[in-house]
Amino acid sequence: MIFSYARVLVQAAPAGFAKFDNSVLSSRTGNVSSDLGRKNFELPDFEIFAFIASIFLSLKCWLTWYGDIASVNRLRAPVSKRLFLLTAPLVCLVLISIALTKPAATTVRSDALYITFYLLLGTGWLGGVTLIFPFLGISARDDVLERGNRAASWAVIGALTGASCSFAGANVGNGPGVEAVLFSAVLSSALFIGLWLGMDLLTSISDAITVDRDDRAGIRQGGFLLSIGLLSGWSVAGDWVSASATLKDFATSSWPAILVTAVAVAVEVVLRRASLQLFAKTIPSVVISAVYVGLALVWVVIRGVPS
């Protein structure tokens, strides 16, 4: 029964990236299929591969994620921290679902099977991104669950929601198929991870979070990661034309995320050197985090999806 349902879902996925038909599509970067008017379309092997890979990553990553929550000593991680990690992935799926049911192609947002397929793709993608978190200095299991580090929980939540927004942006607009979504998602996720890495290399903020257990640094980092997730997703949102056009548009649309990163680096350097008593309190860091996210939201809302 599972395989029968899997076949139905896979057959619902849009086809055609290998044969980019640029004359059918309009401008900008891409995503979910609008080239579904054909009465009989063949099932590409790549979509079968994407479906299977999504199932594998989803099971491997999220069974491990929730298994860690259930298995780690309850005295080390109170219920509040576990609740954050329990619900954050579900919130991320809601964010991706909104992208699939609102600004995605009409053919996709009006079909439950298409939404299910791309939501599964997003679940696997987000799970795969979580495997990179420890290499960027933050680990949900080690820092939040094992060590009960509250500062790290803010950073992890920001990383999860930021990564989901980054992937969601790849689903905004019309495109020839799942390959276009993945191509755009690779670009947006690479920008997200690259800016996160650059931020840490220049400021060592992960040490302040994991070693010093600085709640303020965790809050600022969480807001920063959500903001660059929103902006990296925006940088690939829109209709697909071609791979080269996508790369060109991405190169010219990634500067807001880079600018926010530069500002965040400057803020961390100033705070480290100034040691102002004002910033010893939590509220200023909450305000800084809110400014990061607010600026990203305002930019995305005002600029909209480029045509």
Q: How many residues in the chain? A: 307
- 173 three-class SS: strand
Would residue 6 count as lying in a domain? Answer: no
Q: Which of 89, 155, 153, 154 is nearest to 122 (CA)?
A: 89
Instruction: Tell whether the model's pLDDT for residue 134 goes beyond 90.
Output: yes
196-226 pLDDT, tens per residue? 999 999 999 999 999 999 999 999 999 999 9
Would residue 26 count as lying in a domain? Answer: no
- 104 three-class SS: strand
First-to-last alpha carbon distance for the chain, in angstroms, is 43
* pLDDT tier at 20, thresholds 50, 70, 90: very low
239-294 pLDDT, tens per residue? 888 899 999 999 999 999 999 999 999 999 888 876 655 567 889 899 999 999 99
41 — phi, psi (to 5°)? -120, 145
Would residue 258 count as lying in a domain? Answer: yes
48-71 pLDDT, tens per residue? 888 899 999 999 999 999 998 888
Q: How many CA atoms lie within 13 A of 156 on its CB side?
A: 29
Q: How many percent of the chain have pLDDT more than 70? A: 81
* pLDDT tier at 89, thresholds 50, 70, 90: very high
- CA-to-CA distance for 49 and 262, rounded, in angstroms? 38
- What is the pLDDT at residue 6? 44
Would residue 2 count as lying in a domain? Answer: no
34-44 pLDDT, tens per residue? 343 333 434 56
Would residue 32 count as lying in a domain? Answer: no
- CA-to-CA distance for 36 and 34, rounded, in angstroms? 5
Domain count for the chain: 1
Would residue 189 count as lying in a domain? Answer: yes
Contact 88, 21 (CB under 8 A): no
Q: Which domain holds residue 258?
A: 43-303
* pLDDT tier at 9, thresholds 50, 70, 90: very low
Instruction: Tell whether the model's pLDDT for residue 296 goes beyond 90.
Output: yes
Would residue 5 count as lying in a domain? Answer: no
Would residue 259 count as lying in a domain? Answer: yes
* pLDDT tier at 305, thresholds 50, 70, 90: confident
Full-model pTM: 0.83
Q: Over range 172-188, report the average pLDDT.
A: 90
Instruction: Tell whether the model's pLDDT for residue 74 goes beyond 70.
Output: no
